[in-house]
Amino acid sequence: MQNEIELLKALFLEQGFEQKTLKIQGEKVYRVQIGGLRHYRRESGQIYKSLTTFLNSVMPSNRHLENWKMNMAAELGSREAVDEYVGKTADYGTALHIAVADYCRMNGVDWIEFEQRAYFMLQDAGLSADSIEYALPEFIRDFASLVQFFHDYRVNVLAVEIPVWMEEGVATLIDLVVEMDAKNYDKTPVDKRERHHAIINLKSGKKGFYESHVMQLVGERMMFNQLYSAALGFEVEYVYNLAPSDWKEKPAYKLKNQTETIGFDNMVEQFNLFLKIGKARKILTAPSKKYPVFVGRTEYGANPCDALTMYTYEEFSKLKIEKHHANNKTN
């Protein structure tokens, strides 16, 4: 059984953003993975389903995405291989987020140094040496695409991978919270350009954006505004999907403003309906599985049940977090 506890902290917070949200940031949130089950858990004890897992459980399957998975399964040999590939893609995306956070923290990038650090980012993401050799040049190009976007839209990054949650039982990490130009202006004077706050969901894949990606943004915007708008003094209205493009001569990217899509398709209403479905199907409740824990010593021939305690998921995850803290103090 694989047990993993990870304390979630934003990879980067702009100084003003951090100061205004100190109290909220102080609420510790953990990613808990126990026996194949993965949830978020706040220090207060509430357990949350990840946003992507929740949406996958309640949304109709995407025909294009399913066709892609079937084709990939035929190419890779099994559906399990596809799941592993998707997992590696997610790890690659996380490495990109780390690169963006470093870019913000260091106020720029030294490209020679970045190539060296990028190797270790991909290594930490779990890619094999052979995979890194193939992925490293693409990783550098993809990162350059994001830097190009920051330049084109005069982006001020406020937060990278910031945890958010809602009381209904859903949580996630928001890739980017930014202040940016409303469009890629050319000749318009800087003081005449419209600016707005936005949430940006980064996609490392280059196959386009799906309905589930838009619905993700609905949930992210809802959670962010519920948690942070009062402290920050503004609500986020605009939401985007952003992905690097395959480019040869100049860094390029795909940017899709999904704000109007959400309004036209009544996606907020749909998301609220999915929450009701999630409750009705008990998707948003803690797992009912129980976990055996043995403590002490059982003598030869004695009853092992005397040393056995059965824990609920909530109790077991709390126990693992306490052990995680204890191990960190001794290291």
Q: What is the pTM of this model?
A: 0.86
User: Tokens at residue 265, please?
Assistant: 């398709």
- Of the candidates 190, 110, 30, 58, which has an alpha carbon nearest to the alpha carbon of residue 118? 110
**61: pLDDT confidence band, cut at 50, 70 and 90?**
low
What's the average model confidence in pLDDT over 110-131?
86
What is the C-alpha separation between 159 and 38, in angstroms, rounded?
24
Closest by alpha carbon to 293, among 278, 305, 276, 275?
Answer: 305
Half-sphere exposure of 311 (CA within 13 A, CB side): 15
User: Is residue 227 within 8 Å of 235, Cβ to Cβ?
Assistant: no
Residue 136 parent element (H or E): helix 129-152
- Report d(CA 123, CA 91) in Å as an integer: 10
Helix, strand counts (H, E) of the chain: 11, 12
Q: How confident is the model at residue 74 (pLDDT cuts 50, 70, 90)?
A: low
Please answer whether residues 238 and 197 qualify as being in contact, where contact means their C-beta atoms are separated by less than 8 angstroms. yes
Residue range 243-253, pLDDT digits in tens: 999 999 999 99
Q: What is 17-83 written as a DSSP string?
A: HHHHTHHHHTS-EEEEEETTEEEEEETTS-EEEEHHHHHHHHSPPPHHHHHHHHHHHHHHSSHHHHH
Q: Which of 258, 212, 278 is nearest to 65 (CA)?
A: 212
Element at 257 (helix H, strand E) = strand 253-257
The answer on pLDDT for 43 being more than 80 is: yes
Q: Give the residue extent of every domain in the chain.
A: 3-280, 291-330
Could you report the per-residue pLDDT of 235-273, keeping only the tens digit for each? Answer: 999 999 999 999 999 999 999 999 999 988 899 999 999
Q: Annotate 171-197 with b (16+ C-beta within 10 A) or e (fewer).
A: bbbbbbbbbbbeeeeeeeeeeeeeeeb
* Dist CA 251 CA 218 (whole Å): 29
Q: Of how many residues is the chain composed?
A: 331
Q: Of residues 202 and 329, which shows the higher confidence score?
A: 202
Residue 29 pLDDT level (bands cut at 50, 70, 90): very high
pLDDT digits (tens, 9 = 90+) for 166-224: 999 999 999 999 999 999 998 899 999 999 999 999 987 767 778 889 999 999 999 99
CA distance 158 to 18: 9
The whole-chain average pLDDT of the chain stands at: 87
Rounded CA gap, 30 and 91, in Å? 18
